[in-house]
Structure 1
Amino acid sequence: MILSINSELNVFLLVLCVGFFLGIIYDLIRIVRRVYKHNIFAINIEDSIFWIVTIFILFEFLKYKNSGEFRGFILIGCIIGVILYFYLLSNVLSKMGVAFLKYIDCLIQKVFKLLNFINFFSKIPLLSEKIRVLYNKKIMK
């Protein structure tokens, strides 16, 4: 299919956005890795899943916008979109994302501590009941 220059420019700008979006997705994976340590096997699995999803997104985009044709400017646009994201927003969003995840993690830990505290005190009536039963048994003997 022959595209006009305007159509190619439109596809190029859209693929820049796709590259930008893929940079955000990979950055989210990196943020999770910074907060929750992973072993090398988990990192390899995450990267494999990311690339499979990336390929699927790019092929669906190409099928929808460019009749499935892959051209050099599409690859260049995607790479430029990723590079733009990493130079413009990655540092700021990574720091915010790490801080947010650490805050959520701290909040969850506090909730679990509170639940453990409540669970501990909920056992006291059961314990006092057992002591009372044992005491009554001793008195009856």
Structure 2
Amino acid sequence: MPLNTGVQLDIVIYSLLAGVIVGSLFDVYRIIRGKDTFKIVIVIEDILFWTLSAVIVFAFLLYNNYAFMGPYVYLFICVGLIIYLKLLSRFIYSFEVFILSSIGKILRISYKNATYPIRFIYYKTTHKE
């Protein structure tokens, strides 16, 4: 039984959106992975990333279109990924770097402020003159 046009349009839209989700996850992964690591670590990280991405996309498609996985679903996931990487990636990547560096800075400052009294007391008790 063929699917009606509204359901097919939903499948295409959610497939494109799944491609965009994979692209944004890939940008986060690029930030976390960095540049200078060992080859074996990169291989393990890649396997873990793509496994996690597959699970996230499957859960997303299962929730939105009952995990209907026809050939054009894969095609539109790839199209959504290409659109994201060509048009949006550089803007989203710089925004993600800004957000993650800001969060890191906030956490670092909070840690230093929270541990200052302990470090001050430790210094005063161990460095008596």
Q: Is the 8 A contact 1:62 1:70 kept in 2?
A: no
Q: Is the 8 A contact 1:63 1:69 kept in 2?
A: no
Report the counterpart of residue 14 of structure 1 in structure 2: 14
Report the counterpart of residue 82 of structure 2 in structure 1: 83
Residues in 2 aligned to 1:37 and 1:103: alpha-carbon distance in whole angstroms? 22
Aligned residues between the structures: 127
Q: Is the 8 A contact 1:18 1:81 kept in 2?
A: yes
Report the counterpart of residue 5 of structure 2 in structure 1: 5
| 1:125 CA drift (Å) | 3.2
Report the counterpart of residue 32 of structure 2 in structure 1: 32
TM-score by length of 2: 0.72
Residues in 1 aligned to 2:9 and 2:100: alpha-carbon distance in whole angstroms? 38
Report the counterpart of residue 45 of structure 2 in structure 1: 46
Residues in 2 aligned to 1:73 and 1:101: alpha-carbon distance in whole angstroms? 35
For structure 2, list consecutive stretches of 5 or more residues without a partner in the other structure: none
Q: CA RMSD in A?
A: 3.1
For structure 1, list consecutive stretches of 5 or more residues without a partner in the other structure: 132-141
TM-score by length of 1: 0.67
Residues in 1 aligned to 2:91 and 2:63: alpha-carbon distance in whole angstroms? 34
Residues in 2 aligned to 1:114 and 1:16: alpha-carbon distance in whole angstroms? 45
Letter in 2 for 1:56: V
Would you say 1:95 and 2:80 are equivalent positions? no
| 1:107 CA drift (Å) | 4.3
Report the counterpart of residue 138 of structure 1 in structure 2: none
Letter in 2 for 1:25: L
| 1:41 CA drift (Å) | 2.9
User: Which structure has the bigger radius of gyration?
Assistant: 1
Residues in 1 aligned to 2:125 and 2:55: alpha-carbon distance in whole angstroms? 58
Kindly report which structure 2 residues correspond to 1:111-122, keeping only aligned pairs within 5 A, or say none: 111=110, 118-122=117-121
